[in-house]
Amino acid sequence: MKTPGIFNWIVALAGLWTLVSPFILNFSDLTSAMWNAIIVGILLIALGGWAALYKDVNTDKVLDWINVVLGLWLIASPFVLGYSTMAAALWSSIITGLVVIVLAGWAAFTFGRTVSLQS
């Protein structure tokens, strides 16, 4: 398995964490935080898994950059949606967002370098 594929599977696992975090960290009573986590978690699972399984380099890079944007949203969402005072939701979003940004960004750059070396 190629390194970008491994990174994308980890992004999908981060999406799974995002999906279940409101229930594990007990912030499911904050409606905006809960629905944000559910929606972004499902998107990260779907896009991370798709990028890991799909073999087209250009599609993979697009999916990776979408995941980077989702990671940025995870970091910004507690402040935009007004749940930054709930520490568990805040730190879960920030840490998961950083993990997603690093791994999806690294996967996107790795795919780009792999293609240019093979050409």
For residue range 91-117, what is the model confidence (pLDDT) as tens digits? 999 999 999 999 999 988 886 554 443
Interatomic CA distance for residues 4 and 90, integer angstroms = 28
Contact 38, 87 (CB under 8 A): no
pLDDT at 34: 96
pTM, rounded to two decimals: 0.86
Q: Which residues contact 60 (CB under 8 A, 6 or more apart)?
A: 4, 8, 51, 54, 107, 108, 111
- The SS3 assignment for 86 reads coil
Confidence of residue 67 (pLDDT cuts 50, 70, 90): very high
- The SS3 assignment for 85 reads coil
Segments in 2-86 forming alpha helices (H): 3-24, 31-53, 57-80
pLDDT at 44: 97
For residue range 16-53, what is the model confidence (pLDDT) as tens digits? 999 999 999 999 999 999 999 999 999 999 999 998 88
Q: Structural domain boundaries of the chain?
A: 3-107
